[in-house]
Amino acid sequence: MSHPFEQLKPASYRAIFIPFLTLTILIFLAMNAIGAPLHNPVAPSGIVSFEFAFTPPRALQILNSWSDAVQLRAAFIQGLDFLFPLVYSATIGLGCIMTANVLRAVKRPLVWFGAPLAWGLWLAAVCDYIENISLVILLFDRVASPFPEIGGACAAIKFSLILNGTVYALFGMVIWMLPFKPLQSAT
């Protein structure tokens, strides 16, 4: 199934991709700076530790390790994380479509993987939203099942799709930058 980004003219990729990449990096850096106090021995990866709590006792342990001010930062990060999925899914998804075009141009395999991965980035965004809602409930309402389990499962799916899409997009960048010649047929 084709992806809507495949309808874009390749000449417009750069004009769209660069602003989205810049915004992705800026939001990521802001979230990391705001979330720095969330890192402690109980939550060594900060908000990511909370995303992967998976059980109510573990989620409660993490919440209890954060002061009220730190929990407020976690809540603010969740607010930012309602914008971030739109941005990173567009950035990495477009990167996947761009990679598929590069691979097609140099007659390399894995062209077929671009559109499914781009769709997968939208699934990652949906998982991120479900995860965010679960974490907000844990932060403000109650620490109970099924919210840590839902948050952890969605985080695992999200990070897997983001990792695969990013690796594929970076692979395309390397192919594009190196002087590869198209594969020649053996005739």
User: Can you give the pTM of this predicted structure?
Assistant: 0.88
Q: What is the pLDDT of residue 106?
A: 73
List the chain residues with pLDDT less than 50: 184-187
Closest CA to 127 of 153, 93, 166: 153
Q: What is the pLDDT of residue 111?
A: 67
Q: What is the pLDDT of residue 112?
A: 65
Q: What is the pLDDT of residue 163?
A: 97
42 touches 61 (CB < 8 A): yes
Residue 36, number of CB atoms within 10 A of its CB: 11
Q: Which two tokens stand for residue 150?
A: 């839902």
Cis peptide before 146 (omega within 30 of 0): yes
Residue 41, number of CB atoms within 10 A of its CB: 6
Q: What is the pLDDT of residue 179?
A: 63
CA distance 76 to 139: 11
Q: What is the pLDDT of residue 172?
A: 83
Q: What is the pLDDT of residue 91?
A: 96
CA distance 160 to 141: 28
Q: What is the pLDDT of residue 180?
A: 53
Rounded to the nearest angstrom, the gap between the alpha carbon of residue 52 and the centroid of all alpha carbons in its chain is 15
CA distance 19 to 22: 5
Q: What is the pLDDT of residue 185?
A: 47
